[in-house]
Each structure stands twice: as structure tokens, then as C-alpha cells.
A and B are shown apart, each in its own frame.
Chain A
Amino acid sequence: MKVGIIGIGHGKFGNRSDATVQELAFEPFKEAIENANNLRREDIDALIVGSVPEYHMQRSLPGVVAEYVGMNPKSTWLTEAACASGSAAIRTAYMSIKSGMHDIVAVIGVQKMRELSTEEILALMGRVGDVQWESIFGTTFPGYYALYAKRHMYEFGTTKEQMALVAVKNHFYGAMNPYAFFQKEVTKERVLGSDDVASPVNVFDCCANADGAACVILTNEKLAKKFNDTPIWFEGLGSASAQMSLLRRPNLVEIPSAIEAAKQAYSQAKVKPSDISVADVHDCFTIAEIMAYENLGFCDKGKGGKFIEEKQSYIGGQTPVNVDGGLKAKGHPVGATGVSMTTEIVKQLRGEAGKRQVSGAEIGLTHNVGGIGQYTFVNILKR
């Protein structure tokens, strides 16, 4: 039996010092229920929260979220896979329904990253790699992707200009997305002239920490039509892991977990990369989107830079990518990101993306990477 999405909701991403984490969670949850036809909150059997707990002052997040959104005494729990926690929650929801354990499951991806001080966030981020052999030298999250970028440049001739073009594209679309943190276009020159973070990564090559929440409601094939005329179906779900330590990765030019997860998703959905109408990929850094093109098979290995240069990831190109602005323009509330990507693909497949609509979109893909590729989830959705 197929599993599909019947309701979606998306809160405003950005600096949300106006709300607590549970208040953020409430916004897309309410919207997702209203987005489905005649769905009542009581119909939902379980609530899965995707989030990274370390960022919040509140401990044990599902407890406070379930209470605030009014899901007690229904089942609730947390899934965590760093920046891919939202997609991990969706995968858990899919399994819950597929197994017959639950009929209707809500997934809320939520994160409030600006609750902690900058020093605390930097300290947390400094420990994103292997703490025994790497973090002791002051490695950082952008630093890891910088090491990837440098090697990618060396092996394939990828340039800083090509990386900058990813930011230009994502801000171009982000300017049309009312939920995005940054709704402004940027020029290539502005990106290249922005401050150094970890060479060759500049500030404008990085996504921003943000607060935000998104929600999707899933159900089985039997019930879906009752709540939505156009349910969007999960056709392939890939999930894989890779070494925590960069020192044990086979190379520094690709994310092995992404390649493996994509392979699983394509094979389960019985589609090819060229069949994908629209994709939302994990552009935590501009080099990450370039590697995503390659790892997902949108272009050959090493040709990711060329792919953006030729505008193949714009609407009208071969495979439109991140036409919601990506993490780059939307901001990256880590637990919410995978769910946010999924809501965008649902909108695209329903034909509800407005100015950013990819016309005739039939098959969509999400690619959500946790950490520096320790976890990757790739989902393929169909109308």
C-alpha cells in the first residue's frame, strides 16, 4: 500500500525571537491540518518531531510540542540525524504507516537555533566532526566543506565563481519565497567579495542558522483520497550513512551516503535522474549543491560546476534545483529543513508553487544531508 502526503504547512524561517520552539511548531501544524480536506486533529494517530535537541534550552522536545499543539495523549517521539533530522522523521512516519501501526501521522520539523549564544553555537558546531582526532585542531563546519571544495577544485577544476553562481540562483528564487529568511537577490560579485569564513568558502557560500518549523501529514492509500484530491505519493525512499570522520572517507569530492541513498531511491521508484522534474537539495554550502548535482546523477562526476554555469539547475534547465531558495536563502533551522524541502516538492507536484512553479512537474526529489554527509536521505515523490 502506498503512503502519501495529504497536508503541508510552513512557518516563516529566520530570526524568530518572537516565539518559543513549541509556538514555532504550532504554526505549520495548524496550517497542515487546514491544508488537508476535513482532517481533524483527533484523526492524527502520532506526532513525530524532527529536531536536533542540543540547540534548545527546553529538553525532550516532543513532550512540549505535543502538549502545545494539542496531541496528548497520542504517541509522540523525536528523531535525530543532525541536519537531516526532518527527513529521518518522515522516514519514521512512512514506516509507521507502512507497518500498519498508525494510519495518519504528522511530522513536525522544528528548530530554534538562535536561543543559544554565538559562543555556544560555535562550540557545538566545532564538535560536528570526530572530536577525538579532528575537533581538537579547531575544525569547523564550513571548514569541512572548504576541504571538500578545495579538493573538488583540484580534481575537476571547479571554481569559486561557479560556487558563487549557486548562491546567485538560490537567492534569485528565494526572493520569491515569502517563507525565506533572505528574500533578496545577490550578485556574483557580492558573493565573491563577502568575508572569508574558511577558504575557499565565503560568508555568502554558507547558509545561515535560523529558527523555523515545517509540517507534513502522511497517510495510507486507503485514507488519502478522503483528505486530499491530489495526494503526493512516496515512490522511493533512500537512506544511508557515511564515516563520521573525514579521515576515513574514501575521498573528499563526493558524499558517499548521498550516492548510496540516491541509488536506493531511484531503484525503489523505478526512475532515472533524468526523470526528475524538480529537486530540493541540501545546499548548506554552495559546494554542497555542486556535489549534490553529481551525487544525484543530474550530471557526471566533476561536472557540477559546469551544470550551474550552464544554468541547468534553473527553471527551464535540465533539472530545476532549489527553486524555493534552498537552505541558502531560506535559512537552515536544522530539524525543519528536510520537512521544508518536502513541502516545496509537494507544492511543485500539486502545481501550487506560483511564480516558482516548474510547469508540468510530475516527479520530485528531496536530498537532505546530515552533518558532513554522515547521514543522507533521498526521497522521490510523485503526483
Chain B
Amino acid sequence: MPFKYFGKINFTPYTKVDKFSDYLQKGKLMGTKCKICGELYFPPRADCLKCMSDTFQWIEFSGRGKLHSFTKIYAAPKGFEDIAPYTLGVVDLEEGGRLISWIGDIPENDLKINMKVKVVPRMFEEIPEIKLYYTIEKQ
């Protein structure tokens, strides 16, 4: 599925790491690994930050990690008003790297920095144009 379906509103339909959305649709959270120096990346990168190599391979991430920080957004930007308020979390992934996403089914009072969480691939199945995303859930 094209990368343009990743996210509620996608601003970057064209990218060298567009396979990310294909994997996400199959339920896999993928990062990249530099073929030369072995550095792991999430978010994925086509070009290695460390050694500047432009060769990479896809590596599946477990999705497990720890909640680094979170915030409940009340004032939403254009295109997100319909889901406000929503809670965003930043997760430090077990394999390295970080992501930001919506908190899924974790009750607000249970949210704690450093708690163990799991990132779960999802789809907006109710919308005709299927959109891909992931949420942060309890581990």
C-alpha cells in the first residue's frame, strides 16, 4: 500500500523508504539497518546518518519499548480537530530509535513515563481510503 496512506494526513507521499507502509499493512513495524556499518534506524532512513552509506535493509522491530513522554493535545491542528482531544506518546523502542504516536487503549490515569508499552500497527478501516498508522498500547 502506497506510503501516502501512512498517517491521518500524509505530507510526504514519496520517499525512498516507502516499503514501510507495505510492511505496516501486513502488521509489521519495520526499521532500517545500514548494510555497511549495521546502524539501526527508527524512523527508517534510506541513507545512513553515521557512515553515509546509501544501502540499507529492512529489519522488523518488536514494537516493545518504554514510554519516554506524553501529552494530551486539546488544541488540534487542521485535519485533526475531529479526534481532539487525543494523547500523544513518545516511545523509546527496545531495539533503539523512537517513535511518536497516539496512545491507544491505556486509561489516562495509568499513563506513566517509563512504563512498558507496545506499538501496534493499525488501519482506519472505517474510512473508504484506508489509512495506516500505529498506536501505543500496554505491553
Q: Which residues of A does B touch, CB under 8 Å?
A: 119-120, 122-123, 125-127, 130-140, 142-143, 146-148, 150-151, 154, 195-201, 245-248, 252
Contact among B10, B69, B79, B97 with A252 in the assembled complex (CB-CB below 8 Å) = B69
Decide: A150 and B78 in contact? CB cutoff 8 A. no
B68 and A151 form a contact (CB under 8 A)? yes
Identify A245's interface contact among B43, B70, B114, CB under 8 A. Answer: B43
Query: How far is B100's CA from A136's CA once the two chains are assembled, in angstroms?
Result: 10
Q: How far does the alpha carbon of A248 sit from the alpha carbon of B73 in the complex, in Å? A: 22
Total contacts A to B, CB within 8 angstroms?
Answer: 114
B100 touches A198 (CB 8 A): no
Binding site for A on B (CB under 8 A): 6-12, 15, 42-43, 68-80, 83-86, 88, 90, 97-102, 113-114, 133
- The distance in angstroms between the C-alpha atoms of A137 and B103, with both chains bound, is 11
A147 to B88, CA, bound (A): 9
B42 contacts which chain A residues (CB < 8 A)?
A: 247
Pick from A133, A137, A146: contact of B43, CB below 8 A: A133
Given A136-B6, A247-B98, output 8 extra A-B contacts at Cβ < 8 Å.
A123-B78, A134-B100, A135-B11, A138-B84, A139-B100, A150-B71, A201-B71, A245-B43
Which chain B residues border A252 with CB–CB below 8 Å?
68-69, 90
Q: B8 contacts A147, CB within 8 Å? A: no
B88 touches A139 (CB 8 A): yes
User: Which residues of B sit under 8 angstroms from A134, Cβ to Cβ?
Assistant: 100
Please judge, given known A-B contacts A133-B99, A134-B100, A136-B6, whether A154 and B113 are in contact too, CB under 8 Å.
Answer: yes
Contact partner of B88 among A120, A127, A138, CB < 8 A? A138
Answer whether A150 and B77 are a contact pair too, CB < 8 Å, given A136-B6, A138-B88, A246-B90: no
Please, which residue of chain B has its CB at the minimum distance from the CB of A249?
Answer: B98
